[in-house]
Amino acid sequence: MNYPLHKPRKNLSLRRVWKIILVIIILVFFISSIFPNFLGGVSVGIAKPVWKARDLFVQSILQNDFFHTKSNLIKEKNDLQTQNQNLISKLIELEILRADNEAFRLILGRTSDRRGVALPVIAHPTQTPYDVIVVDINDDQDVSIGEEAVMGNISLGKVSEIGMGYAKINLYSSPNTKTIGVLVSSGTSLELQGKGGGNFSVRVPRDTAITAGELVVLPSDPALGLARVSDIEESEKDSFKLIRLISPVNIFSLRWVEVIEK
């Protein structure tokens, strides 16, 4: 008499475990998409593997033939964003040079000579509370609290926390964060206040010469752009005018940042 062969239950159990893990990843992905701060209050040490698993999951889906066309479109979009950001950086660099940058640096008493390490971004402000980004670091990478984080020649913020395999960077545009900047055109010093989402504001006397589009740089290193004037609001009844500024880079699409050694 022949008896049917039974497949080992071990494979069935492993298959169930993987299905459960996959369901959890999908749930976290969609919940964090709908509620951006869902993982914001969770320890980064716990959230980091979830962020990475989510990215791998999305990548595996996009590599499927069914999503091949969409994947190509996303890649082309990312390439165009990178090219656009490179052009913005070049324009800012030229603008700084046109403003008699060498004399400007001599006045401020510092020249730019920096070295840094490139780090991948694993969490953006849409996934963290306030304007904070989280970067992945290895044991052999020397990163210290207080070091400057930049993207090209745009200053973003400073390292505020270092953990096991990660570092948090508080952006200058974080709400209520105050940062001193200098107008490239005139050398006027401004105290920018972070408003979140890569935005800043400052109140200045009405007679202060300032126009939309002007660039603000860091006084400690004029080669690093900080923000650009986006809007000016003034009233005849007010002796001050409100200046709104925005970071020259899109903080929500950062893939890499560079941390400058002290």
Residue type at position 176: N
Would you say residue 107 lies in a domain? no
Q: What's the token pair of residue 204?
A: 């200045």
- Which domain, by its residues, includes 183? 178-246
> Are 189 and 205 in contact, with CB atoms under 8 Å apart?
no
Structural domain contains residue 224 = yes
213 found inside a domain: yes
Residue with tokens 């080669």: 223
* pTM recorded for the entire structure: 0.65
Q: What is the pLDDT of residues 93-142, one digit of tens each?
A: 555 554 445 444 443 444 456 678 889 898 888 777 678 999 999 878 88
Residue 168 lies in a domain: no
pLDDT at 55 over 80: no
Q: How many domains does the chain have?
A: 1
Model confidence at 88, pLDDT cuts 50, 70, 90, reads low
Query: For tokens 């066309």, what's the residue?
Result: 69
User: Do 133 and 169 contact (CB within 8 A), yes or no?
Assistant: yes
72: Cβ contacts below 8 Å, ≥ 6 apart:
none
Which CATH number do you get for residue 221?
Answer: 2.40.10
User: Would you say residue 214 lies in a domain?
Assistant: yes
